[in-house]
């Protein structure tokens, strides 16, 4: 008995020490995220086009480059969360030539930047640079969340730019089933005065976006995450993973005022894209013009962009090669959760590799 007590004591001390170290780490530091080596090849205002350093020989690489476009209100580091759990790292290992369009953080001077600017100024220019830099006339495009919506707008408005295939992840496009979309209720005109918010702040503040998203599952977001952390405080691997995700979640950025207004008024409230009445800079967005190969990835448990927001997309586009991929997972967990490398990433790679030659 005494010997077991003696061995338990150092074990207990070591565990307590690990817990204390982990607690200090998560409360006082930011995790290193977005670590994969990359090179900036183009900039415009706050936007930057990065090219990730390939890890596969040029001869073994897929010849068609892939451009990643993330949402406007969070940083793109989620695509490259941390070594061992990075979608970018996975793509590079699979032989893709990976580019990322990072939107940067909008300032007060960008309050008038609208969806048209992103879809018809920034994306086409970044693609022009990508084509020039890679030497390939064709390219593939992957958009996530609002990034997917912007890619849809671009692909419908500029169908002849060389886009070979388009992958949409958790795309908020269809607002027909209004009652099933929690954010749509929150932003109804009777509850939410978008013009007053923009009058007060110019851009949509990151804190308000974060609050809105967290209020969709308040207990899970405000309490659940921390109880999970405290339950695993002695497990450094789990803590590091939590820390990386928390660093990314807490680093939200504001959304340009004009783009936010269009998103709420034209899409959330009036569902103009699906109705075929959305006009961007005088051009009507016709989804039938989207003719590239299309993979629409839906998270079955996505509460931010529920499946009903894009599951009928295939009927609306002009593509002949099109597919829906319904996977278990939420809005972020689908692509950045601990199981993503076993489920979502290989399925995306299987589809994309056939269209990257």
Residues 272-291 that bind another protein (CB under 8 A): none
Catalytic site residue 243?
no
Catalytic site residue 178?
no
Q: Which stretch, 25-33, 131-139, 161-169, 323-331, contacts another protein (CB under 8 A)?
A: 131-139
Would you count residue 54 as binding another protein (CB under 8 A)? yes
Catalytic site residue 331?
yes
- d(Cα 6, Cα 16) in Å, to the nearest integer? 16
Would you count residue 22 as binding another protein (CB under 8 A)? no
Q: Which stretch, 17-25, 41-49, 70-78, 279-287, contacts another protein (CB under 8 A)?
A: 41-49
Nearest distance, CB of residue 15 and another protein, angstroms: 12
Q: Which of 22, 26, 33, 42 binds another protein (CB under 8 A)?
A: 42
- d(Cα 133, Cα 51) in Å, to the nearest integer? 10
Bridge-partner residues for 294, per DSSP? 166, 322
| 149 φ, ψ (degrees, to nearest 5) | -65, -45
- d(Cα 110, Cα 356) in Å, to the nearest integer? 35
DSSP string of 84-146? TB-HHHHHHHTT--EEEEE-----GGGTT--HHHIIIIIHHHHHHHHHHHH--S-EEEEEETH
Q: Which stretch, 58-66, 146-154, 318-326, 338-346, contacts another protein (CB under 8 A)?
A: 58-66
Q: Which stretch, 165-173, 199-207, 254-262, 329-337, contacts another protein (CB under 8 A)?
A: 199-207
- d(Cα 103, Cα 31) in Å, to the nearest integer? 21
Nearest distance, CB of residue 234 and another protein, angstroms: 12
Nearest distance, CB of residue 264 and another protein, angstroms: 14
Site mask, another protein, residues 172-191, x = CB under 8 A? Answer: ----------x--xx-x-xx
Would you count residue 134 as binding another protein (CB under 8 A)? yes
Instruction: Note whether 143 and 169 are within 8 A (CB).
Output: yes
Which residue among 62, 145, 151, 161 is the active-site one?
Answer: 145
- How many residues interact with another protein (rule CB under 8 A)? 56
Taken in order 177, 181, 184, 188, is the CA torsion positive or negative? positive
Bridge-partner residues for 255, per DSSP? 204
- d(Cα 348, Cα 346) in Å, to the nearest integer? 5
Binding site for another protein (CB under 8 A): 8, 35-45, 48, 50, 53-54, 57-59, 63, 107-109, 112, 121, 125, 128-129, 132-136, 182, 185-186, 188, 190-193, 196-197, 199-201, 215-220, 223-224, 227, 231
């Amino acid at each position: 008995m005494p010997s077991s007590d003696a061995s338990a004591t150092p074990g207990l001390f070591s565990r307590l020490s690990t817990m204390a170290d982990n607690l200090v780490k998560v409360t006082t530091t930011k995790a290193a995220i977005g670590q994969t080596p990359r090179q900036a090849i183009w900039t415009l205002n706050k936007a930057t086009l990065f090219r990730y350093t390939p890890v596969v020989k040029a001869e073994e690489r897929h010849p068609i480059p892939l451009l990643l476009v993330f949402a406007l209100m969070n940083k793109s580091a989620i695509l490259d969360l941390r070594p061992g759990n990075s979608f970018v790292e996975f793509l590079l290992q699979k032989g893709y030539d990976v580019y990322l369009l990072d939107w940067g953080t909008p300032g007060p001077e960008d309050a008038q930047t609208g969806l048209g600017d992103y879809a018809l100024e920034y994306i086409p220019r970044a693609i022009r640079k990508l084509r020039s830099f890679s030497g390939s006339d064709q390219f593939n495009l992957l958009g996530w969340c609002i990034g997917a919506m912007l890619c849809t707008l671009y692909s419908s408005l500029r169908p002849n730019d060389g886009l070979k295939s388009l992958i949409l992840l958790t795309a908020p496009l269809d607002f027909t089933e209004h009652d099933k979309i929690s954010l749509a209720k929150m932003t109804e005109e009777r509850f939410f005065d978008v013009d007053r918010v923009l009058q007060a702040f110019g851009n949509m503040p990151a804190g308000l976006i974060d609050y809105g998203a967290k209020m969709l599952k308040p207990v899970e977001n405000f309490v659940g995450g921390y109880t999970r952390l405290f339950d695993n405080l002695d497990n450094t691997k789990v803590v590091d993973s939590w820390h990386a995700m928390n660093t990314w979640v807490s680093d939200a950025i504001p959304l340009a005022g004009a783009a936010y207004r269009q998103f709420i008024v034209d899409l959330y409230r009036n569902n103009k894209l699906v109705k075929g009445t959305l006009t961007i800079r005088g051009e009507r967005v016709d989804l039938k013009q989207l003719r590239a190969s299309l993979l629409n990835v839906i998270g079955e448990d996505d509460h931010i962009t529920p499946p009903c927001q894009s599951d009928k997309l295939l009927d609306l586009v002009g593509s002949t090669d099109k597919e829906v991929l319904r996977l278990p997972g939420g809005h972020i967990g689908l692509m950045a959760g601990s199981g993503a490398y076993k489920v979502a990433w290989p399925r995306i790679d299987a589809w994309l590799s056939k269209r990257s030659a």
